[in-house]
Amino acid sequence: MDINKFVRNFEDAIDNVDENTLSGESKFQEIAEWDSLALLSTLAMLDSEYNVSLSGEEIKSCSTLQQLFDLTISKK
Partner 1 sequence: MNDSPFDLTGKMFLVTGASSGIGRQICIGISQMGGSVVAVGRNAEKLSETESLLKEGRHIFFSADLSIEEERLALIEKLPKLNGIVYSAGVFASLPIKFINKEKLNSVYGINYEAAAFLVQTVLKKKLIEPNSSIVFISSVASFIGAPGNALYAGSKAALNAFSRALALEVAKSKTRVNCVLPGIVKTPMTETINQQLSKEMIAEDEKKYPLGYGLPEDIANAVVFLLSDASRWITGTSLVIDGGLTIQ
Q: Where on the chain is the footprint of partner 1 (CB under 8 A)? A: 13, 36-37, 39-41, 43-45, 48, 55-57, 59-60
- The CB-of-48 to partner 1 minimum distance in angstroms stands at 6
CA dihedral sign, ordered 23, 31, 17, 73:
positive
Instruction: Supply the minimum distance, in Å, between the C-beta of residue 21 and partner 1.
Output: 18
Least CB distance to partner 1 at residue 33 (A): 13
Backbone angles phi, psi at 64, to 5 degrees: -100, 165
